[in-house]
Chain A
Amino acid sequence: MLETFIQGMHLLLRWDIYFFIAAGLCIGMFVGAMPGLTTILALSVLLPVSFKLEPVLGIPFLVGLFKGGIYGGSIPAILVGIPGTAASIATTFEGPALTRKGHGRKALEMALFSSVSGDLISDIFTILLIGPIAIITLMIGPPEIFAIIFFSLVLIASISGDSGLKGAIAALIGLGLGFIGTDAATGSTRMTFGFMSLSAGIPLIPLVIGIFALPEILLAVESRAPRFVSQFIGYSNTGEKLRWKEFKSSIKTILRSTGIGTGIGMVPGVGQVVAAFVGYSAAKRASTHPETFGEGELDGIAAPEAANNAVNGPTMVPLLTLGIPGDTATAILLGAFVAHGMRPGPLIFQEQGPLLYAILMSMVIANILFVFLGYVLLKPFAIAIQIKKSYLIPIILALAFVGTLSTGDNSDLIIMLVVGFFAYILRKLNFDLAPLIIAFVLAEPVEYTLSQTMLYAKGSILQYIFVTRPISSAFLLSALIWILYRAMRSFSRKRT
């Protein structure tokens, strides 16, 4: 394993990797800082760019984009109380109060350093942990993988958004879309309705752009306000720099939040938003002066920012070892891995170990680069929040179309348009679309692993799973118990 790791480090001895990571960080930070735009929008629009690059360049570019975006969201959250991304909602509890007190710069720098610290520690933890987990996953077979995918889908669908029911419907729509095209087990084509272009299935790029980019654009133009943020941001009034003493006093909070974020990151479907809230409330509970929370407390910035960034690394563990994306960003990353001929799963560390370690190490490099880039770019991006929609929206739309056209098939534009229209309606009806895209990318593996399980079972599948495969049966039973628990809880809530 050490040898593979060293080979991976050798792959990183190229200047262009650092260039693409830095480019990803800058674009991500910029998009994250725009309250009307999300990091997922940037990931979906720029996903095709990564396809055209080597995997060791393209995937770190996307990783940088995501990391930059999560931090970028805290800039408007602190300065004007509008979160740039959902992950920075908890940052608005303290950020605006600190800005009003004249400590906006301290808050921004605390957010930067705690984000980088949380992310860096969780990335190192991920690199140390992923090898042994990969070895364990080699011992499991298709029945276990099927059960884990099924369990993950149930978990993701049930805890996404406000309503588990809508999450489940979104996941089933995603599965349904994923079944279009050629069945991997038998080679039959399904639900193509005579369109030859659908025989290979719905392509990922127009689907992702349709689901995430087009609705974002439509949501951004709902109001005719010329800018995303109407308040004036005067960066010169944000006060003094953060002092080492102030950062030192928050180290304990950062470490606690990193632990929380790392744990949450390993569970599929929970994500940054929950981690940030849990991190914030844990910091408040542990504080010797909880009454100051809400009135501008630097610990209240460090806690959610360290927690939401610490989620990033561990989400790679189920993705790379089992091929299960835990959230939308990792579902898009899975698409990038597959496009580069890498199928995440138990065998990937044997087949492409050095490349994977190079990608994992690029996450650490991204954090180191981010300390400098984030510090330098704080001021320009804080001012750029006020950019007019009339400049930005046409550029994003033009890029979204280029992304779709990268498949080389003009008919994909129609797929993007139709998917985008329905995705916007679903968003307006409060459907969370993360389960949809995750289920879409898992449709083929879930069906294929069940086919393999049936082959092993030789006709008596229930007996095979529940008698001879304890891990598989444990996951399936857990999923069933979870469904029953959620259904009963929802029923009893309505009655009361």
Chain B
Amino acid sequence: MSFKLSSEKKFFNFYLKSEIAASILIITIGACFALFMPHMIAKGGMVQAQDFIRLSPIFFPRITFAVLSILGIVYLIQILKIKNEEQIEETLSKEIVQNVSIIFLFVTIYTFILPYLGYGIASIIMIFSLSYRLGNRIWWQLVLLSFFIPLTIRIIFERVLFIYLPRSHFEILGAWEDKIVKIFLNLFFII
């Protein structure tokens, strides 16, 4: 006799486990923050003000996290009462987990390389790889997209809206990027 779970059943178990894990996390965070809130207040501030208004900085956060913990328990009880698949509407498959994990990995790498490589170079790498991953296999489009989008963003946001974008820590890369931006800016003003 085989006890292999059907894919629906597997999904149901996975989803239920995720809900249980989320509720336990909510209960734990709520309880820990409520209990240890006095230790999470840095020394300083106006102690006289606290005496005067009788509302310490601990009061509100502590109540918030205590109620969060209680609601977490109610949430856990509700999940444990779920008995069949029909009560779960959400869909999650292996394909979704895989696709999302890969894109999230791209985003994470982009986050960490951006301050070192600078906005321009990091964005070129991110746009090229993300567009390729999402199905774009036309090379000239990939190159144009990954080159012109960061350039346009850099010109609009840095020169027009004065939003500072990180420059590469490596001087050679930074200098090249500046030169390219300058060339295109001059071209823009000539046009």
Query: Which of A78-86, A131-139, A394-402 is near enough to bind chain B?
Result: A394-402
Which residue of the partner chain, among B40, B42, B61, B136, contacts A388 with CB atoms under 8 Å?
B136
Which residue of the partner chain, among B54, B107, B134, B149, contacts A226 with CB atoms under 8 Å?
B134
Near B by CB (< 8 A), chain A positions 430-457 give 430, 446-447, 450-451, 454-455
> A391-B131, A424-B100 known; A405 and B166 CB under 8 Å?
yes
Complex alpha-carbon distance, A221 and B129, angstroms: 14
B49 with A185: CB separation less than 8 A? yes
Assess whether B18 is interfacial by the CB under 8 Å rule.
Answer: yes
A52 with B164: CB separation less than 8 A? no
Q: Which residues of B contact A410 (CB under 8 A)?
A: 114-115, 166
A187 with B45: CB separation less than 8 A? yes
Assess whether A186 is interfacial by the CB under 8 Å rule.
Answer: yes
Q: Which residues of B contact A450 (CB under 8 A)?
A: 55, 60
A402 with B153: CB separation less than 8 A? yes
Assess whether A340 is interfacial by the CB under 8 Å rule.
Answer: no
Assess whether A389 is interfacial by the CB under 8 Å rule.
Answer: yes
B164 with A408: CB separation less than 8 A? yes
Of all chain B residues, the one with the shortest Cβ separation from A402 is: B157
A165 with B74: CB separation less than 8 A? yes
Which residue of the partner chain, among A176, A192, A416, A425, contacts B64 with CB atoms under 8 Å?
A176
Of all chain B residues, the one with the shortest Cβ separation from A410 is: B115
Which residue of the partner chain, among A182, A192, A421, A451, contacts B55 with CB atoms under 8 Å?
A451
Query: Which of B2-10, B90-98, B178-186 is near enough to bind chain A?
Result: B90-98
Assess whether B12 is interfacial by the CB under 8 Å rule.
Answer: no
A454 with B54: CB separation less than 8 A? yes
B72 with A402: CB separation less than 8 A? no
Complex alpha-carbon distance, A389 and B26, angstroms: 35
> A188-B44, A189-B42, A417-B111 known; A179 and B49 CB under 8 Å?
no
B33 with A224: CB separation less than 8 A? no
Assess whether B24 is interfacial by the CB under 8 Å rule.
Answer: no
Complex alpha-carbon distance, A320 and B61, angstroms: 27
Assess whether B35 is interfacial by the CB under 8 Å rule.
Answer: no
Query: Which of A101-109, A166-174, A237-245 is near enough to bind chain B?
Result: A166-174
Assess whether B71 is interfacial by the CB under 8 Å rule.
Answer: yes
B71 with A172: CB separation less than 8 A? yes
Assess whether A295 is interfacial by the CB under 8 Å rule.
Answer: no
Q: Which label, helix, strand, loop or mixed, suits the secondary structure of the B interface? A: helix
B53 with A454: CB separation less than 8 A? yes
Complex alpha-carbon distance, A138 and B189, angstroms: 52
Write the B59-82 contact mask toward A (1 if CB under 8 angstroms, else 0): 011001101100110110010010
Near A by CB (< 8 A), chain B positions 111-165 give 111, 114-115, 119, 123, 126-127, 130-132, 134-136, 145-146, 149-150, 153, 157, 161-165
Near A by CB (< 8 A), chain B positions 15-69 give 18-19, 22, 26, 30, 33, 37, 40-42, 44-47, 49-50, 52-57, 60-61, 64-65, 67-68
Which residue of the partner chain, among A169, A394, A398, A455, contacts B26 with CB atoms under 8 Å?
A169
A421 with B68: CB separation less than 8 A? no
Of all chain B residues, the one with the shortest Cβ separation from A393 is: B134
A49 with B56: CB separation less than 8 A? no
For chain A, the count of residues having a C-beta within 8 Å of the partner chain is 68
Q: Which residues of A contact B75 (CB under 8 A)?
A: 165-166, 169
Complex alpha-carbon distance, A408 and B157, angstroms: 13
Assess whether B99 is interfacial by the CB under 8 Å rule.
Answer: yes
Assess whether A3 is interfacial by the CB under 8 Å rule.
Answer: no
Near B by CB (< 8 A), chain A positions 129-177 give 165-166, 168-169, 172-173, 175-176
Min distance, Cβ A154 to any Cβ of chain B, angstroms: 12
Min distance, Cβ A17 to any Cβ of chain B, angstroms: 17
Assess whether B108 is interfacial by the CB under 8 Å rule.
Answer: yes
Q: Which residues of B contact A388 (CB under 8 A)?
A: 134-136
Min distance, Cβ B111 to any Cβ of chain A, angstroms: 5
Complex alpha-carbon distance, A395 and B44, angstroms: 45
Q: Which residues of B contact A218 (CB under 8 A)?
A: 100, 103-104
Near B by CB (< 8 A), chain A positions 177-234 give 179, 182-183, 185-193, 214, 217-218, 221-224, 226
Complex alpha-carbon distance, A223 and B135, angstroms: 11
Assess whether A48 is interfacial by the CB under 8 Å rule.
Answer: yes
Using a CB–CB cutoff of 8 Å, the interface residues on chain A facing chain B are 48-49, 52-53, 165-166, 168-169, 172-173, 175-176, 179, 182-183, 185-193, 214, 217-218, 221-224, 226, 388-391, 393-395, 397-399, 401-402, 405-406, 408, 410, 413-414, 416-417, 420-421, 424-426, 428-430, 446-447, 450-451, 454-455, 459, 494
Using a CB–CB cutoff of 8 Å, the interface residues on chain B facing chain A are 18-19, 22, 26, 30, 33, 37, 40-42, 44-47, 49-50, 52-57, 60-61, 64-65, 67-68, 71-72, 74-75, 78, 81, 89-90, 92, 95-96, 99-100, 103-104, 107-108, 110-111, 114-115, 119, 123, 126-127, 130-132, 134-136, 145-146, 149-150, 153, 157, 161-166
Could you give 21 example pairs across A and B, Cβ below 8 Å? Answer: A52-B162, A166-B75, A169-B68, A186-B49, A189-B41, A190-B37, A190-B41, A218-B103, A218-B104, A222-B96, A222-B100, A223-B95, A224-B134, A391-B136, A393-B130, A393-B134, A397-B107, A397-B110, A397-B126, A405-B119, A413-B111
